[in-house]
Amino acid sequence: MEQVRRVGAYGVVRDAGQERVLLVRGSAYADFPGVWSLPGGGVEHAENPARAVLREVAEETGLTVEVTGLRAVVADVVPYPDQGVTLHTDRMLFDLTPVGGALHSEVEGSTDLARWLTTAEAAGLPLLAFTAEALGLPVVPLPAGALRRRQPFAVPDPRRRQRFGAYGLVTDPADRVLLCLIAEGYPGAGQWHLPGGGTDHGEQPVTALLRELVEESGQLGRVIDLIGVDDLHNPAALGPEGYPIDAHSVRVIYRVVVDLPTEPTVTELAGGSTARAGWFTRSELRELPLTEIAAEILGASR
């Protein structure tokens, strides 16, 4: 089956008393009509994920919200056998606080009802799996026939790409930082970058990061915290394809510890994006050419 990717941003919004959560119901235009979920939706090409969730919540509920944190990042895969497609969705779940607007339901969109509900009330409704997990509820299989996609999936443009990746601020017990040198032929060549890379189809972001850590440096890591999410839009990224690509990268950042550090060794196949990897003290970092996201994360961690 054809593998299709999608990146989405969703919000956990609670009322002033913290007793009710905001949920929306899928409309007849949705893939799962009548099924409830957290408000949110797809991140558009070149759109910042935090801005995407603000836009989606306003469209679906009428409320103006602000982001107070990144709660979780998860992935799921749904097969669409009638179209010969498996859809992998990377979902960023933000904590949101209402600051204005008035609650109303979306008209002729992918949702048709927005409601404040207690967790007990939500437990009695059909919920998408990621929503049930976010609310601490059991995941109940949806009834047969719940999936009813109306439109075919768009044919991807080879010169336009949205990529989802997982990266790490990786340290050892001596507080050294592990970085990877970007190889020639890749965007950012010659700069030192956070370990990590794109997630594979069907792969959870934490699993992908630990896999990339082994491939790029030979280190075994332990994820201890979720730092945040970042995105980068390069309308003319030149990589191994040999032609410019309108590239949008969404990158989730974790804090990772390597308890038993070793001499870094690149184990990925020749021609990969990592030339070499190294451990650096905090003072040594000041002498390195860093990618923008590496400089930002390392600066914030001092």
Total domain count for the chain?
Answer: 2
DSSP state of 142: P
Residue 173 lies inside a defined structural domain of this protein: yes
| H helix intervals, the chain | 49-61, 119-123, 129-134, 205-217, 282-285, 292-301
Which segments of 54-199 are extended strands (E)? 63-80, 85-101, 111-118, 160-171, 177-182, 192-193, 196-198
Q: Tell the burial category of 133 from Cβ atoms under 10 Å away from its Cβ (0-12, 13-18, 19+).
A: middle
User: What's residue 302's pLDDT?
Assistant: 65
Please calculate the CA angle 62-64-65 and round it to the nearest 5 degrees: 130
The pTM score is: 0.95
φ/ψ of residue 68, rounded to 5: -115, -10
Half-sphere exposure of 46 (CA within 13 A, CB side): 8
Domain match, 182 and 220 both: yes
Calpha distance 135→119 (Å, rounded): 7
Which domain, by its residues, includes 37? 2-134
Domain match, 17 and 129 both: yes
Domain match, 129 and 168 both: no
CATH of the domain at 41: 3.90.79.10
Burial 76-92 (b: 16+ CB within 10 A, else e): eebebeeeebbbbbbbb
Q: What is the pLDDT of residues 17-57, one digit of tens each?
A: 889 999 999 999 999 999 999 999 999 999 999 999 999 99
Domain match, 295 and 177 both: yes
Domain match, 77 and 128 both: yes
Residue 58 in contact with residue 64, Cβ under 8 Å?
yes
Residue 130 in contact with residue 214, Cβ under 8 Å?
no
Domain match, 271 and 217 both: yes
Residue 294 lies inside a defined structural domain of this protein: yes
Residue 251 in contact with residue 277, Cβ under 8 Å?
no
Residue 83 lies inside a defined structural domain of this protein: yes
Pairwise pLDDT comparison (76 vs 150), residue with the higher score: 76
Residue 56 lies inside a defined structural domain of this protein: yes
Domain match, 196 and 293 both: yes
Instruction: Indicate whether 253 pLDDT > 70.
Output: yes
Q: Averaged over 274-284, what is the pLDDT?
A: 97
Please calculate the CA angle 11-164-155 and round it to the nearest 5 degrees: 100
Domain match, 124 and 166 both: no
Domain match, 96 and 187 both: no
Residue 32 lies inside a defined structural domain of this protein: yes
Instruction: Indicate whether 87 pLDDT > 90.
Output: yes
Domain match, 232 and 111 both: no
Domain match, 98 and 164 both: no
Calpha distance 242→260 (Å, rounded): 39
Residue 146 lies inside a defined structural domain of this protein: no
Residue 205 lies inside a defined structural domain of this protein: yes
Q: What is the pLDDT of residues 208-233, one digit of tens each?
A: 999 999 999 999 999 999 999 999 99
